[in-house]
Structure 1
Amino acid sequence: MAAYEDQHVHQVYDKIASHFSATRYKPWPIVHEFLTTLPPGSVGIDVGCGNGKYLNINPNVFIVGSDRCENLVKIAKDQAPTQDVATADILSQPHRPSSFDFALSIAVIHHLSSPERRVEAIASILELLKPAGEGKALLYVWALEQKNSRRGWDENSEQDVLVPWVLTKQFKEPSKKKKMGDSTESESTSGPSTENTESSADNEDSKPFLRYYHLYKQGELEDNVRSAGGNVLNSGYEKDNWWAIVERTT
């Protein structure tokens, strides 16, 4: 499983990091609300922080960032120089247990390729939180139920899929700087959408990079949280994603 994820998740994000980052700059509304309502002085962690777009949302809290992709970590460090960002795997965090008031994991857990590894990932996040209701985490995963999306996934679709990402020409050339509005991905104006970034159809020389996703069905995220030893405080559906705010039970 780890080797499969290395090929279809980690290696892909290392290659598409700049292009991916160009589509991720506007905060997802529920994440923004979660961060801006935290008590001043709170200390948290963004597990799978990507380009670090959430690290500076609330200047009254401190967020440690971590991501498995070294190239995204470099971008995050540039965008959030006052925050601490490290390269780390979600299943092997270098931080002390029970250290954080809050945690984020936005569009990360669905990249784990087995039920056991997804539960383990949630357990690793819960372990970082302060115990007995003192800490809380916000989790986001792609939803299976997407009848109104371009992809049209629904409850009868396969849950384990490979989603293509086409690296457009400008991002193949390191000398060119990325521009915020250049992506065709809908997420660039909203949040962690399930739409993949694709170049125009006439860009035939673009090679698609296939990313693994597990598409969560309704109730599955909550079940995973309970299996990991957590308690669900709130949960819902937002633009092709399932989300949950969770805490430790001990």
Structure 2
Amino acid sequence: MPESDSRGEAYEAEHVHAVYEQIAAHFSSTRYKPWPIVSSFLSTLPAGSIGLDVGCGNGKYLALNPSIYTLASDRSTNLAKIAASHQPHSAIVADNLALPHPLKTFDFAISIAVVHHLSTVERRREAVGEILAMLREGGRALVYVWALEQKGSRRGWDKGGEQDVMVPWVMKGPKQEKPAKRRGKGERTFQRYYHLYRKGELEEDVVAAGGTVVESGYEKDNWWAIATPREAEVSTA
């Protein structure tokens, strides 16, 4: 693993973006069950709410609440194409650090299992800040990241362990392009970069990014936080 100052855009291009472009279809086939907190957040939004799904993957959350409209985006062209099938919602290709939307416009935003793919603390905080900047006064964002504290999971990660890790994705099928490595006959392994968040770290990133944490918690190997832009919090006082 390189030193943190050698990570950044090029590092993520190789160890995150290039991987998801190649595994998109297989990844999508395994992502269909909504997470409870995400479902609750989206299901309780007022009818007519308009929001963002930043790093939408295959768009599995787009059709969860038919009374709201979501504009989804993903850095992966192949995943965005899959997500675009969830009509009437839209899906575009966009970078989390440069969202092409008007500021202070949306009622809500979700970013599920995305920010942990940014490879430095500065870039992770910038990503959170970009999401918060999209929200109108009173808008809220739900952000999920993988937790370091996963002692009970099959991965066995726990507090005190390495936070910057490579996580394998094994895919059977015809030979793929790099950065995969041959594992067995017709099987390929791709390595994806993750930053595993320790307890309290996501809240720290939200505050550093100019947000206020409304609610936060832990759900099955993930830390989550609901946040609002700090300006919005002050203006409603």
The TM-score normalised by the length of structure 1 is 0.85
Deviation at 1:84, TM superposition (A): 1.2
Instruction: Structure 1 unaligned segments of length 5 or more: list them.
Output: 174-201
Counterpart-to-counterpart distance in 1, 2:90 and 2:83: 9
Q: Write the deviation string for residues 157-204 of structure 1: whole angstroms up to 9, x where unpaired.
A: 1000011111122xx49xxxxxxxxxxxxxxxxxxxxxxxxxxxx945
Give the aligned partner of residue 165 of structure 1.
169
* Structure 2 Cα separation of the partners of residues 63 and 81 of structure 1: 10
Choose from 196, 200, 207 the match for 1:226. Answer: 207
Asked if the contact 2:51–2:69 (Cα under 8 Å) also holds between the matched residues in 1, the reply is yes
Percent of aligned positions that are identical: 59
Equivalent-residue separation in structure 2 for 1:161 and 1:230 (angstroms) = 27
* Counterpart in the other structure of 1:187: none
With a CA cutoff of 8 Å and minimum separation of 6, indicate the structure with the bigger relative contact order: 1
Q: d(CA) in 1 for partners of 2:200 and 2:185?
A: 40
Q: Please give the secondary structure, in 2, of the residue aligned with 1:31.
A: helix
Is 1:61 aligned to 2:68, yes or no? yes
Q: Does 1:14 align with 2:18?
A: no
CA drift at 1:205: 4.4
Counterpart for residue 99 of structure 2: 93
User: How many aligned residue pairs are there?
Assistant: 218
CA–CA distance in structure 2, aligned partners of residues 55 and 125 of structure 1: 17
Structure with the bigger percentage of strand: 2
Q: Work out whether 1:28 is the aligned partner of 2:35.
A: yes
Residue 151 of structure 1: how far off its partner (Å): 1.0
Aligned AA (1:231) = T
Q: Tell me the SS of whatever aligns to 1:85.
A: strand
Name 1:208's counterpart in structure 2.
Answer: 189
What secondary structure does 1:90 align onto?
A: coil
Residue 123 (structure 1) aligned with residue 126 (structure 2): no
Contact 2:172 2:186 in 1 (8 A): no
* SS of 2:168 mapped into structure 1: strand
Q: Provide the rounded CA distance (Å) in 2 between the counterparts of 1:84 and 1:247.
A: 24
Runs of 4+ displaced beyond 3 Å: 202-205
**Aligned partners of 1:237 and 1:76: how far apart in 2?**
27
